[in-house]
Amino acid sequence: MEIKIKLNGTMVSDDVPADTLLIDFVRAHGCLSVKRGCETSSCGLCTVLMDDEPVLSCSTLAARANGRSVHTLEGLQEEASEFVGFIADQGAEQCGFCNPGFVMNTIALLRENPDPSDGEILAYLSGNLCRCSGYEGQLRGIRAFLNSRHEEGANHE
């Protein structure tokens, strides 16, 4: 089956079997930030943005993305660079395996809610499993990023 997906801003077409998963499609096209973890939609490692909404690519058929826009971390480096250093400063990326999923969901969260509460951050990121550091470091990093944005805004007033 022929599918066309706008992958990180570039139109990509490919002939794939009908049962091809989106994770396999994006990885075959060089997007290696998308990780295979649980393969049961439980860990968040495979999160991509499809039409700006986070989806788990391990449980989404590539055919469902036909004609749609899909972004992986490779296509969102500039947006991610705004806050990933804050997460790293909190020691929240010990092995780094879960980071792409956390970053993708943080981008989606901040696009939807630019000033979330701690509870909203934790709720949004609850689908991402981290076996090394838990979630407090990620929460502290996102909170530090948001606080820095508030300070910058206050300094420009």
Instruction: Please name each of the domains of the chain with its CATH number.
Output: 1-75 (3.10.20.30), 76-157 (1.10.150.120)
What pLDDT, on the 0 to 100 scale, is given for residue 26?
98
* One-letter identity of residue 113: N
Tens digit of each residue's pLDDT (9 = 90 or more) over 99-153: 888 899 999 999 999 999 999 998 888 888 877 776 788 888 899 999 998 887 7
Distances (CA, A) of 85 to 47, 82, 142: 20, 7, 10
Contact, 102 vs 129, CB < 8 A? Answer: no
Q: Looking at the predicted structure, is the pLDDT value of residue 93 above 80?
A: no
* One-letter identity of residue 25: F
Contact, 42 vs 104, CB < 8 A? Answer: no
What pLDDT, on the 0 to 100 scale, is given for residue 124?
84
